[in-house]
Amino acid sequence: MTRSDLPERRLTAVLDSIGEAAAQNALLRVPDAVLAVGLHYMSDTTRDRVLRLTGSAKAARVRDAIDRHRRMKIGYEQYAHACDRIASALDVSGPRPADGHDGPGPGPRRPNTGSAGRPAAYYRPSRRGSDRDP
């Protein structure tokens, strides 16, 4: 067993533990560049298995990125880190944040609520019709 077998074994173990639909949903959220680095040194069977789950358009983009990465030096640390990111994206058994947001960027939209917990009124009547003098 070589050093490069360890990340591949972790990834295949996670793939075996979840269903295809959950794996596909998780893999579609992984950036193409991370998938390309993570799949770069893997065996053809594992690479084809992962790319089959991603769909044809994403698989084509990842294959192009893998071809571009062939001209670059990718160290074991980069490869292992990318595999860890893929495996953690696939690990649906772990705890998730309460709001469902676990990445960079803006979080989910929160409803516009007033102080009483009810939705705030967007319509405010004007004071023109009132007997108050502005």
- Residues 4-40 pLDDT 10s: 468 888 888 888 888 888 888 888 989 999 999 988 8
CB neighbour list of residue 119: distance below 8 Å, 6 or more residues apart: 111, 112, 113
**Does the structure show a pLDDT above 70 at 50?**
yes
Q: What are phi and psi for residue 113, nearest 5 degrees?
A: -115, 145
pTM over 0.75: no
- Are 2 and 32 in contact by the 8 Å Cβ rule? The answer is no
- Output the CA–CA distances (angstroms, integers) from residue 21 to 15, 52, 64, in the order listed: 11, 12, 24
**CATH no. for 5-90:** 1.10.220
Domain borders along the chain are: 5-90
